[in-house]
Amino acid sequence: MIKSVVHDEARLVQRSQPATPADGQTITDLIDTLRANQENCVGMAANMIGVNRRIIVVDMGILPVAMINPEITKMAGPYDTQEGCLSLSGERPTHRFKTIDVTFLNQNFQKQRQTFTGFVAQIIQHEVEHCNGILI
């Protein structure tokens, strides 16, 4: 179900709690909401729809990919950039890394470890920061 996007910074800066299999509907809602906002959004974290769980979805081209309890374990190639956010107005400066390693659970709660580069890595970093209560 498509959910309203949270704009209240006081809610967005709260650290998210680990997700469990009971959060399956949140994953579906997050994917639906990302698709509904695809012209302005390439990734979302659950706190952006009012659910304080460590779940992100990232538009990787064909289908949005859900990452549950994501953790960035390695970063390389620092750079500075500007980013926007569906929950915030305008663009803001931020610091990112070109390559990241991420451990996460997929939608079937199977452990995954992948390396991401470029724009996808940037999106994941942004959404993981949402889970950690960090805004750009």
Domains of the chain in sequence order: 9-131 (3.90.45.10)
pLDDT (tens digit per residue) in 98-132: 999 999 999 999 999 999 999 999 999 999 999 99
Catalytic site positions: 127
Q: Looking at residue 71, what is its pLDDT? A: 98
Of how many residues is the chain composed?
A: 136
| pLDDT score recorded for residue 61 | 83
Q: Is the pTM of this model over 0.85?
A: yes
